[in-house]
Amino acid sequence: MPNPLHHLLDVLRLERVGDGDGSAADPEHFRGVSVHQPTGRVYGGQVLAQAVLAAGRTVPDGRLPHSLHGYFLRPGGLDVPIDFAVERLRDGRSFSARRTHAIQHGKPILSMISSFQELQGGIEHASRMPDAPPPEDVPSALDVLGGIDHPIARFWSHHSAFELRHVGGSLYLGPDHEPKDHQMVWMRSRGDVGDDQLLHRALMAYACDQVMLEPILRQSGTSWVTPDISIASLDHAMWWHRDVRVDEWLLYVQSASSAQGGRGLGAARVFAQDGTLVASIAQEGMIRVPAM
């Protein structure tokens, strides 16, 4: 296996394959491949990150993404590339808006609108980071799964581009013994990724998708290994408040406000290790357990 982070960075280098004018009838086109997944399907966070990067290639210099809203429409396959069609919805004096469709076999697997803004001053306010043990004191996925000879365990412990450390225990091997609707997770990439802030924000979109629905599992007494459980992201919303570095520890403070009808809503506030609030995230997912 190649270095997981280097492989991911290679996957995120999109190829421009069309010079459209950015209209709905003639969008700009980019193409990317996928990171191997033991599930056999494209990982949703990867498509989000690639869509952010494709849109970012079309905005004026100096504008960074501050929000995205996307819907996962179909599962993606690992056997063919993904095409990204970007429409230029608006370029104002401070903001740019883009619509991006990720397409396989002529059909969209993701539809996303993102907004970009120039650096500007304004009112400053942010929530405070709750108390949490430092990441060095929290077991990693490698600590929990490193000795298990199973393809998914090996993927999470050795072949993931990000290191995860769950405060209070993970859900990799079983449910929480004290069900609750919240959790905290430390996360960072397994190496330096440079100083491109667009790339850091796209990588955050990549990384967060793997944990957003866990508070729902934790509250319901289920886990990633619950027999016949079916989980899929349905939509994703994200707001970047400040510059972020994914190659430094970030604390995801997560909650789940509701679950019903085979769906659940997860939310997260993301803090740098110094307590700075850098992002807020929300995601609804499908979670189906046959016995429930």
274 in catalytic set: no
Q: Are strands 162-167 and 250-260 parallel, antiparallel or unpaired?
A: unpaired
Residue type, 182: H
193, 9 Cβ separation under 8 angstroms: yes
**Alpha helices (H) along the chain:** 4-11, 44-56, 141-145, 151-158, 197-208, 214-220
b vs e for 213-232, b when ≥16 Cβ sit within 10 Å of the residue's Cβ? bbbbbbbbebbbebeebebe
Catalytic hit among 183, 189, 220, 233: 233
Burial of residue 209, with CB atoms counted within 10 A of its CB: 0-12 exposed, 13-18 middle, 19 or more buried: buried
Catalytic hit among 209, 210, 219, 220: 209
Closest CA to 56 of 83, 76, 30, 92: 30
- How far, in Å, CA of 35 to CA of 172, rounded? 21
233 in catalytic set: yes
Active-site residue list: 209, 233, 283
